[in-house]
Structure 1
């Protein structure tokens, strides 16, 4: 496939975060047919169990019928591991993120959560091909677990990764840190530079988070960037849809 593509990805999708996303999703829908990939958390922070939100589940089912993709995004999206004991672990789990749920999980624990998440998707008849770990952080135990499960891909911040052999395919992504004004300003500068660098890339991912939607500056950046990339001729696709068009040998072990 030679036509350049665009993947619009909504992270941390849950009943709690839907009010953040709703106006943006409606604005995207108004542009026409723009498939989106929704990274769904089955029980966000342990108080958003999808079983208790039938209307939100119906919304997600309607999105699937519309052509969007739902992806398993952790199970709780919170880090309950033991207190970090090394400088690297402290940085990754207390500075980089507090939500690296799969960062330190052993095989058995990772399998249990992944199987529970897969069961949620099966229960509601949602097709499932991908898993994305919160903050893209995966332990070796998680990688071992993914090799045992019927999932087709995972991803990190710059690749889609075929399972079970962990073949990485370049899929550069823009993502913001929007928690403060200076972070939003810096994110804009970095994203503009990366977008220029990736003008010839076969695909560009836009990785949105709920906090981005709470600030007019970042929300408008994402909407305008989406419009511009569409105007430049990029074809919007879901992650799974784009991955199916890539030749299997392309890539490298992640």
Structure 2
């Protein structure tokens, strides 16, 4: 049985949008859509709501079939080596989710899908998400439908943001994608935008994508519907 292929990019801003556009062009030629992991704020003072060019680009990509996934609020690390939502109690997660949701709604990019920075979420965050209307949670080990409570088990492998970027890991990522695709599993690949300007990580992502396609994986994006966590519109 053929598997699925989901490719995501995070860290999208005015400083990285050009690199992401080039990557998108390479995927467009392969007919592979992207899941765009978007945060209202990033390090060094970046604010999405002040970046009209990136907002317009994201809007166009979503209209063309890509998915927009909320990816935290401001990428703050609450504890050493923990992602922004990795250790938050429910009330703090609730405040951050409300703030992030408000910004994305304001710029016309509201999403009911959530992928936490670093791919880890606390129990409090998992509790706060459906209370704020989110329907899909994407984490390190799977994709959870927050309405039905069902989880599709599939580990994400990536370059950057919780994953190392060394050449040996890039090779491991390619081999992992091929193994998963060969057995008809779900191949989930992730990369941070700043890694796309580097030849090694970018080529590793493309090699992994090509191998997944070679083994018959169907390209898709993170989606939600009542009966299949990875099969409806964002």
TM-score range, shorter chain: 0.7 to 0.9
Name whichever structure is richer in helix by fraction: 1
1:38 and 1:183 map into 2 onto residues whose CA distance is: 20
When normalised by structure 1's length, the TM-score is: 0.79
Shift of 1:15: 2.6
Contact 2:147–2:226 (Cα < 8 Å) also in 1: no
Contact 2:117–2:161 (Cα < 8 Å) also in 1: no
1:143 and 1:218 map into 2 onto residues whose CA distance is: 31
Q: Encode CA deviations 1:151-210: one digit per residue, 9 max, x unaligned.
A: 11112123101215643211232213599xx95222134224423431213321111112
1:230 and 1:137 map into 2 onto residues whose CA distance is: 28
When normalised by structure 2's length, the TM-score is: 0.85
Shift of 1:54: 0.8
Q: Which residue of 1 aligns with 2:201?
A: 218
1:245 and 1:226 map into 2 onto residues whose CA distance is: 28
Q: Which residue of 2 aligns with 1:15?
A: 14
Task: Give RMSD over aligned pairs.
Answer: 2.7
* Secondary structure of the structure 2 residue equivalent to 1:16: coil
Matched, 1:228 2:226: no
Equivalent of 2:52 in 46, 51, 54: 54
Equivalence map 1:165-204=2 (5 Å): 166-177=149-160, 183-198=165-180, 199-204=182-187
Moved over 4 A (4+): 245-248
Which structure has the bigger radius of gyration?
1
Q: Cα 1:188–1:146, aligned 2, differ >3 Å: closer, same or farther?
A: same
Q: Cα 1:156–1:232, aligned 2, differ >3 Å: closer, same or farther?
A: same
Q: Which residue of 1 aligns with 2:232?
A: none
Q: Which residue of 1 aligns with 2:102?
A: 119
1:214 and 1:65 map into 2 onto residues whose CA distance is: 25
Contact 1:178–1:184 (Cα < 8 Å) also in 2: no
Matched, 1:206 2:206: no
Structure 2: where are the runs of 5+ without partners?
Answer: 230-234
Contact 1:16–1:48 (Cα < 8 Å) also in 2: no
Equivalence map 1:74-89=2 (5 Å): 74-79=72-77, 81=78
Equivalent of 1:128 in 96, 111, 125: 111
Contact 2:148–2:226 (Cα < 8 Å) also in 1: no
2:100 and 2:161 map into 1 onto residues whose CA distance is: 28
1:12 and 1:127 map into 2 onto residues whose CA distance is: 17
Q: How many residues align?
A: 228
Q: Which residue of 2 aligns with 1:239?
A: 222
Q: Which residue of 2 aligns with 1:148?
A: 131
Structure 1: where are the runs of 5+ without partners?
Answer: 85-89, 94-99, 249-254
Q: Which residue of 2 aligns with 1:87?
A: none
